Amino acid sequence: MHIAQINIAKCRASLDDPLMQEFVDNLEPINAIADASPGFVWRLQDEGGDATSFQLFADPLIISNLSVWESIVALNACMFKTHHIKFLQRRGEWFEKPDQASHVLWRIEPGHIPTLDEARAQLEYLRANGESEYAFSIHAKAFHQT
């Protein structure tokens, strides 16, 4: 099985605001790290190469990132063992602290490309039901079969 993941974040300002400039300027290089990472399968992107134009929620300040990985090990390596970690550590500069789950992982068959509707359903399931085999967080070691 592969791993699909979505993470969302509420921006502190619109993407064209100077507050968000450094984040926006680094979307392309951070996405390139993911694209080149071992175990990367797919990510949602528009003509510009990122997913900021896709709206998962009514609030235009909420942006999302949807991707597929061969394993949780591969996803973790990209997130925590590349330059990406520097931006995770600084997320408070650009995004509001979430008051509920802002990411979810779930297993999918190889070759399946998840939709935004599917991803939203998984996130809502996690929020309503907590961690399970069906929907879990990057931190839920009990469900991390590679």
- 91: domain CATH number is 3.30.70.100
Q: Given this model, what pLDDT does residue 144 score?
A: 58
Amino acid 138: pLDDT: 84
Structural domains in the chain (count): 1
pLDDT, position 145 = 59
All residue ranges of the chain with pLDDT < 50 are: 146
The count of C-alpha atoms lying within 13 angstroms of the C-alpha of 70, restricted to the half-sphere facing its C-beta, is: 10
Amino acid 143: pLDDT: 56
| Domain ranges, residue 24 | 2-143
pTM of the model: 0.91
Alpha-carbon separation of residue 45 from 66, 74, 94 (angstroms): 9, 20, 20
